[in-house]
């Protein structure tokens, strides 16, 4: 007896009749294990595919439950996750998020167990940062290092040395974020968005992100200053903001992003994400689906070229971009790239001729990461496949910059040529205005008219005191022979700063306190101590240049990151300015810390939104001064001044240091708010017409 092919038996008891015609159906008619999401197109064909490829841990299409071996052992029952968007329109639920971030819960204060359980549930709720699995970097530690602590939990780590600051042992990141969001009136984000311009929305989000990132960095470093630990406060800050719905330009869009200007710079991929310039946290190609035919098609919206692949980006108007994929993340082995996902989106954009945003990643010469420059819109003109150095097939795309846009990457190239001596900057009067008084040159430039320079003055790099302020109590200084260290509670200088280091290791301001205490003459720490940041002079190549309508101004050849130190205000310290000083030529180069000024955070509930500085320092830089005397006023400044106190014995020396409010690209004018003069010092007498051009211009300044 013959066994039919549909029998459950696996044995045969006799010969098989090979002449019989069997009814065998093709495999493509069988029901797929992974059905396609509705409307999803094939990678290679415009017709729907029977199934989609998924990573081992998900995502799984709707209606399919995860099964072994794709289950995650640490998945919490009932845990809710935000699904990543892989660029195909609707999201695909993922039981295991690609990158999740948990925030700590406050210490229990005798609450009910139900309240504790709710708090724990909130702490487990993840925020997923989009990544389609293709990185634009061959060095994965650039984005997610093996030692990266992307958890927000304020746990104690092993092997801590020295005394740690009690203020930094435990902190609640959620409360920290909420305080900044409330201060900048982002609690009701929809209302904030409807009542502010696109530029203000983007600027405020980036400002809050950086405040949170710097504060978390300061607290975590004080808690554990172990070298080599990558804490990634940028990931925490970005994830927490997005978890609270604070992000701009979402969902994705083509073309320019409202509120982001060509030439803007970013230091973290999370910054690109939260303002909608480039969504994936690691992938170099961002794309979205569009209903252009019967089926949806992937279309590229932005690319990041940062050196992960063999891109040719030396030309300022043409970029030869290498497609994504083909690079194994763990062992670094190469394979042929496939025409799928981002590569397919670029190919579709080539034929559809849609513009693509280009972000160029440049090496950060101060930090350890990248600087991302938004270089505007490009058009894909050509694509081909070629062999790379490893002998694998890779896709190449030729992108040409759309004409008529402001300069961006080309500015960086020009400055590098000036520094290398390969080209000469037009309009240079003096290569160094300081005659060597600063460690960095300050160029004097005029390419507007024939004026040969500002009125004569003597350049001095520091503030000159006739008599210091009396100290509130005697100060003997610190004994940190190797320099003050974060979290060291035995350091008296740390104690004056509430136990926290005010600066990062690369000189970025970490605190938002009204007064910084720096090491003084009696301290034993070396000149390069982190707590002497403002004492070593200018750290970037500045330029005094002639503006078109506001006299002389100040800008930098170098980029300046948010919180970066620029210079101090040097001159002659005086007790105060009398009323007859304002309104005449003698008030052009003065600084008065007793003026009313608008704070960085949201306007207070007082009558005019201005606060008075409690520090009575006045500086006259008419005859003696430094580059700070050339910094013009703006009602929407990119620089803020900060009082810095240095004490020795019974004397206090108050200085004024300038820091960047936000990331400042090269050759962008540096400005700060001059503030409002009190009525008893002249009031309306010294008003001048303001030409800052800001959307929030008050129309006058002092």
648 by DSSP, 3-state: which?
A: strand
Cα separation, 653 vs 417, in Å, equals: 41
Q: pTM value?
A: 0.77
* Residue reference for tokens 């008296």: 492
- Residue ranges in the chain modelled with pLDDT below 70: 1-170, 225-230, 329, 576-587, 601-614, 680-685
Q: Are 633 and 699 in contact (CB under 8 A)?
A: no
Hey, how many other C-beta atoms are within 10 angstroms of the C-beta on 400? 14
pLDDT at position 138 is 35
Q: Which residues contact 349 (CB under 8 A, 6 or more apart)?
A: 299, 300, 356, 380
Which uninterrupted H or E stretch holds 237? helix 233-243
pLDDT at position 9 is 41
Q: What pLDDT digit, counting tens, does each position of 639-682 carry?
A: 999 999 999 888 999 999 999 999 999 999 999 999 888 776 66
Vertex 337, ends 332 and 343: CA angle to 5°?
Answer: 120
Measured over the CA atoms of residue 579, residue 580, residue 584 and residue 585, the dihedral's sign is negative
Q: What pLDDT digit, counting tens, does each position of 19-78 carry?
A: 555 554 554 444 444 444 444 443 333 444 433 343 444 444 444 444 433 343 343 434
667 by DSSP, 3-state: which?
A: coil
Cα separation, 156 vs 170, in Å, equals: 9
Cα separation, 195 vs 601, in Å, equals: 17
Q: Please compute, for residue 141, the number of CA atoms within 13 A of its CA located in the half-sphere on the CB side.
A: 7
Q: Are 285 and 321 in contact (CB under 8 A)?
A: no
Hey, how many other C-beta atoms are within 10 angstroms of the C-beta on 379? 15
Q: Long-range contact list for 330-339, CB < 8 A, 24+ apart?
A: 332/138, 334/388, 334/390, 334/391, 334/392, 335/392, 336/392, 336/393, 336/394, 337/392, 337/393, 337/394, 337/395, 338/43, 339/43, 339/44, 339/395
pLDDT at position 167 is 54
| Short-list 171, 256, 207, 226, CA closest to 602 | 207
The phi-psi region of residue 691 (left if phi > 0; otherwise alpha if psi is between -120 and 50; otherwise beta) is alpha
């Amino acid at each position: 007896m013959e066994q039919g092919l549909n029998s459950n038996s696996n044995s045969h008891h006799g010969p098989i009749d090979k002449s019989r015609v069997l009814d065998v159906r093709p495999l493509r008619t069988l029901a797929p294990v992974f059905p396609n999401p509705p409307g999803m197109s094939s990678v290679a064909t415009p017709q729907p595919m029977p199934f989609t490829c998924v990573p081992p841990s998900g995502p799984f299409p709707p209606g399919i439950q995860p099964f072994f071996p794709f289950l995650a052992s640490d998945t919490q029952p009932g845990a809710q996750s935000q699904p990543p968007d892989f660029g195909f329109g609707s999201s695909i639920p993922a039981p295991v998020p690609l990158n999740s971030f948990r925030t700590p819960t406050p210490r229990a204060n005798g609450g009910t167990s139900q309240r504790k359980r709710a708090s724990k549930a909130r702490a487990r709720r993840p925020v997923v940062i989009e990544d389609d699995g293709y990185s634009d970097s061959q060095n994965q530690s650039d984005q997610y290092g093996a030692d990266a602590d992307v958890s927000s939990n304020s746990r104690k780590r092993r092997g801590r040395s020295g005394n740690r600051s009690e203020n930094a042992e435990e902190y609640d990141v959620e409360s920290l974020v909420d305080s900044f969001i409330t201060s900048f009136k982002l609690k009701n984000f929809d209302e904030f968005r409807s009542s502010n311009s696109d530029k203000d929305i983007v600027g405020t989000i980036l400002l809050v992100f950086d405040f949170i990132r710097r504060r978390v960095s300061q607290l975590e470093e004080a808690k554990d200053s172990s070298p080599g630990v990558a804490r990634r406060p940028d990931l925490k800050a970005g994830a927490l903001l997005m978890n609270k719905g604070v992000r701009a330009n979402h969902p994705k869009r083509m073309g320019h992003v409202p509120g982001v200007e060509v030439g803007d710079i970013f230091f973290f991929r999370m910054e690109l994400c939260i303002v909608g310039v480039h969504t994936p946290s690691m992938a170099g190609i961002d794309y979205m689906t569009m209903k252009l035919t019967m089926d949806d098609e992937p279309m590229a919206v932005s690319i990041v070229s940062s050196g992960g692949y063999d891109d040719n980006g030396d030309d300022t108007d043409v970029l030869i971009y290498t497609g994504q994929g083909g690079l194994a993340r763990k062992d670094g082995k190469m394979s042929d790239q496939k025409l799928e996902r981002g590569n397919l989106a670029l190919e579709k954009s080539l034929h559809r001729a849609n513009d693509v945003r280009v972000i160029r990643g440049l090496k950060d010469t101060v930090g350890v990461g990248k600087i991302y420059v938004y270089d505007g819109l490009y058009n894909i003109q050509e694509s081909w496949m070629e062999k790379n150095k490893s002998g694998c097939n890779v896709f190449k795309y030729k992108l040409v910059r759309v004409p008529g846009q402001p300069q961006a990457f080309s500015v960086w190239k020009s400055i590098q040529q000036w520094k290398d001596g390969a080209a000469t900057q037009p309009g240079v009067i003096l290569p160094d205005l300081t005659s060597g008084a600063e460690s960095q040159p300050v160029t004097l430039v005029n390419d507007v008219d024939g004026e040969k320079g500002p009125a004569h003055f003597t350049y001095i790099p520091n503030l000159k005191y006739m008599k210091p302020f009396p100290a509130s109590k005697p100060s003997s200084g610190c004994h940190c022979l190797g320099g003050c260290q974060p979290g060291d509670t035995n350091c008296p200088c740390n104690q004056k700063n509430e136990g926290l280091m005010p600066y990062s290791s690369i000189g970025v301001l970490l605190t938002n306190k009204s007064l910084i205490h720096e090491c003084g003459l009696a301290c034993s720490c070396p000149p390069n101590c982190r707590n002497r940041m403002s004492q070593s002079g200018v750290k970037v190549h500045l330029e005094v240049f002639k503006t078109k309508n506001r006299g002389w101004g100040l800008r930098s050849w170098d980029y300046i990151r948010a919180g970066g130190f620029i210079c101090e205000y040097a001159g002659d310290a005086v007790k105060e300015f009398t009323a007859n000083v304002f309104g005449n030529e003698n008030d052009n180069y003065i600084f008065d810390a007793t003026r009313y000024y608008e704070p960085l955070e949201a306007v207070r509930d007082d009558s005019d939104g201005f606060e008075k500085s409690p520090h009575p320092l006045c500086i006259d830089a008419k005859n003696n001064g430094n580059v700070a005397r050339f910094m013009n006023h703006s009602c929407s400044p990119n620089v803020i001044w900060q009082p810095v106190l240095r004490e020795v014995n019974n004397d206090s020396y108050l200085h004024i240091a300038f820091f960047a409010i936000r990331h400042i690209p090269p050759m962008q004018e540096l400005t700060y708010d001059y503030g409002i003069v009190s009525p008893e010092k002249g009031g309306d007498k010294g008003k001048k017409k303001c030409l800052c051009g800001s959307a929030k211009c008050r129309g006058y300044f002092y």
